[in-house]
Structure 1
């Protein structure tokens, strides 16, 4: 299997975050990426490939231009205005209760967007205190997204040349992750929503259009290609397996009938205010958002049963996706330092996840792009990734340790 990876993504390295009321070392560390990459590279079964560049155009199909400009410029403006050089963190947020009483919330928000004060914008464009912007954040986030888009491109190429019934998959080893980022807000260590951009990319472009957009070498210039409306090219199913609800992915597609978004996640937990089962989408998107909140005490068997039921269920089957995107969070593991299901303790569970994606009615015989999200128990991240991919490819599971 091909693995898309860039060491540029290691350069985003905030020193700390504010978690549970105190400053703590940044859990979303570069070591996460190197642990997975080194583990896969130690076998002879994975080809590590660099990302290409597909420009800002696909990103701007999902994120607003004002938000993207903020991510690009926030750090330098922050330092110019006297902010701590360790990075941008908000100190005040536009809470809806406060603004509702003023009756002019929209006007205040528009003023903050126009104002050059980056402290105001930090609170407007970020929803927590764990998503620091450093001098290297924008480039790492951009290349992380390009890794996912490169994965889409390779997936389409491989699928076009593959034999029937053979599992076709690519793994985008992305960092920073993406599924908490909304169209104009970052949070949860996420800046650009890699899976959402990839889904829209698949919906927008035919293979030959993808190839014409591609720039062979990632450029720091990040050119902008004009974005235009397009007729849908494919139906996409997004399966979010991260322990935390993908509030960003949900919000981006909540009023749309393509993609179908399915999330299994722990509750009650971060991001606290989204992920209930009654959140099913609205308007055209009603019924195309499926949340499966699970207790923190969920066992391996209970998790796999829930996954099997939704992938073999009527909604996934009727949707009849052309492509599957997996937000591969590995923070479901019981030893994860900031998440984890307390009784999910078997590495075999991750192999079974991959196997179900390959065999369940709603996802089988579809090309699958695995996109890295969370997972912070560094010692076994490589084992978990390998097991998921082996299960999907139909390989024998590595022995339990």
Structure 2
């Protein structure tokens, strides 16, 4: 299994995020990807390759031009104010306010954000752009005949919607990959999101479509971020009705509980019979993750990979969350090794 990776991720290193009433050091940090890469290499998972550059066009298939233009130019506008610190929003168009896009930098930032957890720094655009190219390079590998690939993306992406950033996410790498598969001839794609937090951005992008099934196993949004999406009664609409599956689980859920939800999700994916699967690979379900409440242990991730492999479909793994930094590499690579040992790869 080839891994796609770039040092560009280090260009994004936010100083702080707004959490628990404080500006705290970011849990989403460069060492996350470094630990995963080190584990990939230590376990000799396969070649580690730099991404190709497929340009802006595949990003524009998922994100609006206005959003991309804003995100790409936000730091330059902020730097021109000679203000120290990261660019963070402080106001949002809540329910009683109009959904009008202002012209000021802070107004636009609030319009395009849903929380204070996605700081923009001097290198954020380039890091996010390269992460999307890493996802697209994994697509290209599978389109060329590989059975699986690992896109070691950072920053993550599954909270980013078509015109919205938040939850450490700016560009939706998994959604960009899924759309690229479709644009290159695949008829149906399934996205399986195993991150502790619901992939609200991915759900919103494909919610009314029948060419992408979305299934997510996550912390119950009545108590867990992102709070406002991820409920079991969200099943899609229009052409997408019946193709959105959420499995919210209570805090403290262990492997047997989590695995039962995975089994249900895999049953739905089997029925859908996709041509290819994209896995939003978050490992913040780990028992010692500092911002999550599930109780999975490292050996459980081998079993997770094995079950995904039994779906019998070409599979692209796209890195999402996981913040117990010392163990993130072990847990992410365990999923990949479990998948590999349960499949016969010819690539």
Aligned pairs for 1:14-163 within 5 A: 14-82=14-82, 84-96=83-95, 98-99=96-97, 105-106=98-99, 109-110=100-101, 112=102, 115=103, 117-159=104-146
Tell me the alpha carbon deviations over residues 360-392 of structure 1, each in whole angstroms, 9 at most, x when there is no partner.
xxx22x110000000000111111122101111
**Among 326, 350, 354, the residue aligned to 2:279:** 326
Tell me the equivalent position of 1:169: 148
The reply on whether 1:335 has 2:335 as its aligned counterpart is no
**Among 310, 335, 338, the residue aligned to 1:388:** 335
> How far apart in 1 are the matches of 2:31 and 2:67?
28
Corresponding residue SS for 1:38: helix
Tell me the alpha carbon deviations over residues 238-261 of structure 1, each in whole angstroms, 9 at most, x when there is no partner.
000000000000001111112100
- Residues 78 and 119, structure 1, Cα contact 8 Å, conserved in 2: no
The reply on whether 1:245 has 2:198 as its aligned counterpart is yes
Tell me the equivalent position of 2:175: 196
Tell me the equivalent position of 1:379: 326
> How far apart in 2 are the matches of 1:188 and 1:196?
16
Q: Which structure has the larger Rg over C-alpha atoms?
A: 1
Tell me the equivalent position of 1:210: none
* Deviation of the 1:173 alpha carbon: 0.3
> How far apart in 2 are the matches of 1:198 and 1:395?
24
Corresponding residue SS for 1:23: strand
Tell me the equivalent position of 1:277: 232
- Residues 118 and 168, structure 2, Cα contact 8 Å, conserved in 1: yes
- Residues 4 and 50, structure 2, Cα contact 8 Å, conserved in 1: yes
Corresponding residue SS for 2:232: coil
Aligned pairs for 1:286-297 within 5 A: 286-297=241-252
Corresponding residue SS for 2:234: coil
> How far apart in 1 are the matches of 2:27 and 2:81?
28
Tell me the equivalent position of 1:353: 304
> How far apart in 1 are the matches of 2:133 and 2:21?
34
- Residues 242 and 265, structure 1, Cα contact 8 Å, conserved in 2: yes
* Deviation of the 1:318 alpha carbon: 2.4
Tell me the equivalent position of 1:205: 184
Unaligned 5+ runs, structure 1: 100-104, 160-167, 207-232, 397-401
> How far apart in 2 are the matches of 1:309 and 1:249?
19
> How far apart in 1 are the matches of 2:44 and 2:238?
48
> How far apart in 1 are the matches of 2:145 and 2:24?
43
Structure 1 length-normalised TM: 0.83
My pick for the range that moved more, 9-18 or 322-331, is 9-18
> How far apart in 2 are the matches of 1:52 and 1:334?
36
Corresponding residue SS for 2:59: helix
* Deviation of the 1:394 alpha carbon: 1.4
> How far apart in 1 are the matches of 2:159 and 2:259?
24
The reply on whether 1:317 has 2:233 as its aligned counterpart is no
* Deviation of the 1:75 alpha carbon: 1.1
Tell me the alpha carbon deviations over residues 176-219 of structure 1, each in whole angstroms, 9 at most, x when there is no partner.
0000000001000000000011111111124xxxxxxxxxxxxx
* Deviation of the 1:86 alpha carbon: 2.1
> How far apart in 2 are the matches of 1:29 and 1:86?
16
Aligned pair count?
341
> How far apart in 1 are the matches of 2:298 and 2:339?
15
* Deviation of the 1:276 alpha carbon: 0.4
Corresponding residue SS for 1:265: strand
* Deviation of the 1:308 alpha carbon: 1.5
> How far apart in 2 are the matches of 1:186 and 1:239?
21
Unaligned 5+ runs, structure 2: none
CA RMSD, 1 decimal: 1.3
* Deviation of the 1:169 alpha carbon: 1.0
